[in-house]
A and B are shown apart, each in its own frame.
Chain A
């Protein structure tokens, strides 16, 4: 099955850029996702990237996909305290639309 790995914590200063990294094992996924979870809440779909793209930008968010290295990253520009949350990478296994979630990266933004 799919194995999705993320670092558990990232601490940044307000205004800096944050980069959250994710590695996965199954290279046949069509879409790859990033979800955001604020304390005590459900997950919110933040953005996604189609597997034939290298980069997707959406306002302050930039998703980079390196299929050769099976590496996905989420960059948040001008990080704000409101960005503090847990960010999950989610990658479907080949032939399935059901994603495997990483353990989540807790982003802590210091003022």
Chain B
């Protein structure tokens, strides 16, 4: 069966520190992968998506970057966190058809 793993579950980081969030998918190949941010428990903002290894599309210009070093691995990074980067980060995958996303359990990031 297909599963998606996202870690860590919670993270508290000081302003100016780097960030690395990891997402991996099992049980499928060549998934489309997504990073979303949910601020203040509301609304989902698409940050990045990837349709293949090394292919990254950015939806919102900001302090974050994404990479896909392997088919089923998606990483969200920042060199220097800002207070405004705080939020709930969600990874998701889909086969590219119209059957909806499968989301990870999310990472709660607090920048202090």
Contacts and interface: CB of A to CB of B under 8 A. Distances in A.
Interface stretch (B13-21, B64-72, B74-82, B103-111): B103-111
B59 to A, nearest CB: 9
Main DSSP-derived SS at the A contact region: strand
B82 to A, nearest CB: 23
Contact of B105 (A31, A42, A98): A42
Given A42-B90, A42-B104, A97 B98 contact: yes
Contacts of A75: none
Interface residues of B, number: 23
Interface in A1-49: 30-31, 33, 35, 40-45, 48
A45 B101 contact: yes
B61 to A, nearest CB: 16
A101 interface: yes
A15 B101 CA distance: 30
Contact of B44 (A40, A97, A101): A101
Contacts of A41: 105-106
9 contacts: A31-B100, A41-B105, A42-B92, A43-B101, A45-B102, A48-B100, A86-B41, A92-B98, A97-B97
Interface of A: 30-31, 33, 35, 40-45, 48, 86, 88, 90, 92, 97-99, 101-104
